[in-house]
Structure 1
Amino acid sequence: MRLPFSRIIQECRFAAIDFESAGAAPGETDQPVQIGIARIGGWQEKPLLWESYIATNKPVLWSASKVHGITTDMLAGAPSFLSLWNTIRTYLEGAVVIGHNPATERRFLRHFPGHGFGPWIDTLALARMCLPGLPDYSLRSVADALGVSDSLAALLPGKTWHNALFDAAASLFIFQVVVRELHLEESPLDTLGAAIKQ
């Protein structure tokens, strides 16, 4: 069941999600190869973290592997996307879901019709509203501008950008910093304007 936009921010649970994909040639359907979720059940708590590789029935394209470093061989023995459903539901159910331009995340989750996750917060839209004039709004650039990159590295040593869990945690940290800096903790979700969507 989706949460109403009138809910107070600090009273909500939040779960940030990111997928990395196999890449797709024109006319082909892309497939997820890695998922990461960072969830908080209370506004000030340390995030609960989960990640997994995901089996795919097609090879990971070189162009995609060049971005995230995941190869077809690394997916040997990985669980199927369908088999991860119960874990994904445990992390996302009852939470406001966060992603940085989460079109890919929403598309991959359509594999589970009627899941009811949401509402969604787009940290790309949030950053464009709150940080006008950045040279670009990549996840890394926004995290650097808000000073959260060192905290991410400390939380997830050995991981970096385009790792699904690292990127999910980055989206969560970005959201938390914006809310804290703008003193929005006691405001309703709909204060976030265009950054929040069903």
Structure 2
Amino acid sequence: MQQIILDTETTGLEVKEGHRVIEIGCVELVNRRLTGRVFHKKLNPERAIDESALKIHGLSNEDLSNQPRFVDIANEFKAFIEGAELIIHNAPFDVGFLDYEFCLLDTSWGGIRACCLGIVDTLVLARRHHPGQRNSLDALCKRYGIDNSQRDLHGALLDAELLCEVYLAMTREQTSIFRNTDSNTQTQLGIEKYRPVAAGRSALKVIQASNEEKSAHEECLTASEKVSGSICLWRSQ
């Protein structure tokens, strides 16, 4: 199963006011494990950045003047997410902006949902897990014990990395998948890449339970039956 954790930064908060995407960050999971593949682009939005947005991500028009436009990276981006399930925090925001970018290219591109398998909104998941509580990315990092000390400003790739940890923690109670604590967030992705099983490898050794272990297991089942007042499911198989 391929999943892409995705985040964007924009020139402002309202896509209906013509604001644009200025940064896209993605990390890839396959079967809930990081592959090391990332997609990270900063973009020239060809319009002014709101002062309020600048305070959030710190990216100025001067910083982005020599960066590619969305049209220049659209095919590469589409290929990266195609056929994958997207994991996004507050998905309507990012999806709205990306749909607008695709629309500006050509209506034949369709929206981002035409490129991917589906979209999971981690804000919706967080509200189900933690109703009535703050569920911002920072709040979730604190709740799950995830180190977000590098997050002085928002950044699409860093936020995608943090969201990856949050998502796995919420859905599998796996609260720490990054081993490398280097301040360079790119190096945090070079972990646990897949290693194919060697051809002709011998079958895994099967270790049978000892008589003592079997006896202890039976005692646990008996105790469970006394508490529940019914036959244990394991004995009914």
Q: TM-score range by the shorter chain?
A: 0.7 to 0.9
Asked whether the equivalents of residues 78 and 115 of structure 2 are also in contact (C-alpha less than 8 Å), the reply is no
- 2:90 alignment partner, one of 83, 101, 107: 101
Following superposition, the deviation at residue 48 of structure 1 comes to 2.3
Q: RMSD in angstroms over aligned alpha carbons?
A: 2.3
Q: What secondary structure does 1:45 align onto?
A: strand
Q: Distance in 2 between matches of 1:104 and 1:26?
A: 9
Asked whether the equivalents of residues 22 and 30 of structure 1 are also in contact (C-alpha less than 8 Å), the reply is yes
2:212 — aligned with what? Answer: none
Q: What secondary structure does 1:23 align onto?
A: coil
- 1:175 alignment partner, one of 167, 174, 178: 167
Q: Distance in 1 between matches of 2:69 and 2:15?
A: 24
Q: What secondary structure does 1:14 align onto?
A: strand
The residue type equivalent to 1:181 in the other structure is: E
1:137 — aligned with what? Answer: 135
Q: Distance in 2 between matches of 1:119 and 1:26?
A: 22
The residue type equivalent to 2:115 in the other structure is: G
The residue type equivalent to 2:143 in the other structure is: A
Structure 2: runs of 5+ lacking an equivalent:
103-108, 175-237
- Report percent identity of matched pairs: 27
Change (3 A) 1:82 1:27: closer
TM (norm. structure 2) is: 0.62
Quick check: which has more Rg, 1 or 2? Answer: 2
Runs of 4+ in 1 over 3 A off after TM superposition: 24-27, 158-161
The residue type equivalent to 1:66 in the other structure is: K
Q: Distance in 2 between matches of 1:24 and 1:122?
A: 18
1:31 — aligned with what? Answer: 20
Change (3 A) 1:27 1:117: closer
2:61 — aligned with what? Answer: 72
Structure 1: runs of 5+ lacking an equivalent:
1-11, 183-198
Change (3 A) 1:108 1:142: same
1:68-93 CA-to-partner distances (Å, cap 9, x unmatched) read 11111000111110111122122211
Give aligned pairs, total: 164
Q: What secondary structure does 1:94 align onto?
A: coil
Q: Which moved more, 1:83-92 or 1:64-73?
A: 83-92
Following superposition, the deviation at residue 108 of structure 1 comes to 2.3
Asked whether the equivalents of residues 56 and 153 of structure 2 are also in contact (C-alpha less than 8 Å), the reply is no
Q: Distance in 2 between matches of 1:61 and 1:107?
A: 18
Change (3 A) 1:107 1:27: closer
Change (3 A) 1:13 1:180: same
TM (norm. structure 1) is: 0.74
Q: What secondary structure does 2:8 align onto?
A: strand
1:96-154 CA-to-partner distances (Å, cap 9, x unmatched) read 101101112211222333333231111101111112342x1111101211122x2x66x
Query: Could you say which structure has the higher helix fraction?
Result: 2
Change (3 A) 1:140 1:86: same
